[in-house]
């Protein structure tokens, strides 16, 4: 145990990203436990305490929110967890594997047969408790997005974005309603008397995670805009790269309204004049491919996760007027493409298809990562998270 704890302590201090830190614990620290597990008797109490100490250590370094779901910490990343393996699971796994082996060899070996007799029966394998998705508060997000999102893709940032463990912990805590917003303080922790629990910024709506990440009018002008422009900026730079157009030097630089060469013309946040007045005439990006005689109208949104499908539809409808006008005026084929990512990472099953209709190569993981990072920044600033939280 001492050796195990000594190794665990090395992990949070390392420069590894979140996913690699869990891998370090699973592949470098846990073998210390696995080796003697199933051979020496291990008090259940000690196993439990060691898991608790591991989680406390992660929490101390910002890698696990204290109110976040423990079940989810140990769930696989593919299923939206953090992919950590517990001491308990390691000991149980190794014990049951040894038993299986001995049972198999038992008829041919007297010593093993005697060993098995003395051992008696083992407690059955991992009892299946409830999963984090079923918990009233921790699973709320999961239930909300099940209807509208591609769950596997919505979780893929946990596997592929390479974020810091503290950012992973923050976003999962937000999904699990584990962060202290005024609404949670009043309704769940009962530490706040004011039952209206109005948002600290706009003082209008109840302060929920959903409100802070995508619904507050005080954040709309600057913080949400910044996040939106970062996501749109990724798409924009990939388009420019495709046509050999000059790209903005830094990702914080606002692109020029118009860039053009003999192959294409790309408009950024450009108000387009049409003969017939159309309401929505200022999409985020317009690409005119001169060679192929086609144009693509791209509009980006980072709404609340439950609204991604509705938003996608809305964007599509919104620019039909512009599409018709442009087809008539420019005599080219025009496609409208919505790029929608939920503030906490949820994506619709169609996102990949949409991205493929945009010139250049933009991966779904890149826009998802960008949206999630933008939200993490907003949460840290708005909730003024003390210290690591
Ligand atoms: Zn507000």
List pLDDT tens digits, range 58-80: 999 999 999 999 999 999 999 99
Mean residue pLDDT across the chain: 92
Same domain, 6 and 122: yes
Is residue 208 in some structural domain?
Answer: yes
Same domain, 244 and 349: yes
**pLDDT the model gives residue 123:** 55
Task: Record the tokens describing residue 74, joined without a space.
Answer: 């140990």
Ligand 1 centroid from CA 196, angstroms: 13
Same domain, 362 and 329: yes
- Cβ proximity of 77 and 19 under 8 Å: yes
Ligand 1 centroid from CA 231, angstroms: 22
Task: Read off the pLDDT of residues 250-277 as tens digits, 9 standing for 90 and up.
Answer: 888 899 999 999 999 999 999 999 988 8
pLDDT at 156 over 60: yes
Ligand 1 centroid from CA 253, angstroms: 28
What residues form DSSP beta bridges with 300? 339
pLDDT at 389 over 70: no
Q: What is the mean pLDDT of residues 198-219?
A: 93
- Cβ proximity of 371 and 227 under 8 Å: yes
Nearest alpha carbon to residue 387 among 169, 113, 203: 169
What residues form DSSP beta bridges with 337? 298
Is residue 325 in some structural domain?
Answer: yes
Ligand 1 centroid from CA 243, angstroms: 41
Nearest alpha carbon to residue 303 among 202, 371, 253: 371
Ligand 1 centroid from CA 385, angstroms: 17
Cβ-count burial 23-53 (b if 16+ within 10 Å, e if not)? bbbeeebbebbeeebbeeebeeeebeebbeb
pLDDT at 126 over 60: no
Ligand 1 centroid from CA 69, angstroms: 26
Task: Read off the pLDDT of residues 231-251 as tens digits, 9 standing for 90 and up.
Answer: 999 999 999 999 999 988 888
**pLDDT the model gives residue 190:** 78
Nearest alpha carbon to residue 287 among 252, 226, 238, 229: 238
Ligand 1 centroid from CA 199, angstroms: 4
* H or E element, residue 41: none
Question: For a pLDDT cut of 90, what percent of the chain falls above it?
Answer: 75
Structural domain including 208 reads 165-219
Same domain, 85 and 189: no
**pLDDT the model gives residue 252:** 84
Give the list of residues 6+ apart from residue 173 with CB closer than 8 angstroms, or none: 65, 67, 68, 179, 389
* H or E element, residue 261: none
Say how many domains are in the chain.
3
pLDDT at 120 over 70: no
Same domain, 209 and 240: no
**pLDDT the model gives residue 85:** 97
Which of 84-98, 243-257, 338-352, 374-388 shows the lowest per-residue confidence on average (mean pLDDT)? Answer: 374-388
Ligand 1 centroid from CA 133, angstroms: 28
pLDDT at 121 over 80: no
Ligand 1 centroid from CA 217, angstroms: 6
Ligand 1 centroid from CA 140, angstroms: 21
Is residue 11 in some structural domain?
Answer: yes
Same domain, 95 and 192: no
């Amino acid at each position: 145990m001492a050796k195990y704890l000594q190794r665990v302590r090395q992990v949070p201090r390392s420069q590894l990203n979140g996913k690699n830190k869990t891998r370090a614990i699973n592949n470098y620290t846990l073998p210390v436990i696995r080796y003697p597990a199933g051979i020496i008797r291990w008090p259940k109490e000690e196993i439990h305490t060691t898991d608790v100490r591991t989680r406390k250590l992660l929490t101390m370094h910002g890698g696990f929110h204290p109110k976040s779901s423990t079940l989810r910490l140990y769930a696989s990343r593919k299923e939206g967890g953090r992919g950590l393996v517990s001491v308990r699971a390691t000991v149980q796994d190794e014990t049951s594997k040894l038993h299986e082996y001995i049972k198999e060899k038992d008829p041919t070996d007297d010593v093993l047969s005697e060993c098995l007799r003395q051992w008696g029966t083992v407690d059955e394998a991992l009892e299946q408790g409830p999963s984090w998705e079923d918990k009233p508060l921790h699973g709320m997000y999961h239930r909300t997005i099940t209807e509208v999102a591609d769950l596997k893709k919505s979780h893929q940032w946990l596997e592929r974005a390479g974020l810091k463990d503290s950012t992973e912990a923050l976003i999962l805590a937000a999904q699990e309603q584990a962060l202290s917003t005024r609404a949670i303080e009043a309704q769940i922790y009962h530490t706040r008397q004011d039952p209206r629990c109005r948002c600290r910024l706009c003082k209008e709506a109840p302060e929920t995670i959903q409100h802070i990440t995508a619904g507050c009018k005080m954040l709309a002008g600057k913080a949400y805009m910044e996040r939106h422009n970062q996501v749109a900026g990724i798409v924009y730079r990939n388009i420019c790269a495709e046509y050999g157009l000059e790209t903005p030097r830094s990702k914080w630089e606002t692109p020029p309204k118009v860039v053009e060469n003999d192959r294409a013309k790309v408009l950024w946040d450009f108000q387009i004049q049409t003969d017939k007045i159309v309401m929505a005439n200022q999409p985020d990006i317009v690409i005119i491919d001169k060679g192929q005689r086609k144009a693509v109208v791209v509009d980006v949104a980072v709404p609340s996760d439950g609204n991604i499908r509705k938003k996608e539809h809305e964007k599509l409808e919104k620019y039909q007027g512009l599409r018709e006008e442009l087809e008539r005026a420019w005599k080219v084929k025009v496609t409208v493409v919505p790029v929608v990512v939920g503030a906490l990472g949820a994506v619709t099953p169609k996102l990949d298809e949409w991205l493929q209709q945009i010139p250049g190569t933009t991966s779904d993981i890149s826009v998802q990562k960008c949206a999630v990072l933008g939200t993490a920044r907003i949460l840290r600033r708005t909730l003024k998270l003390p210290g690591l939280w």
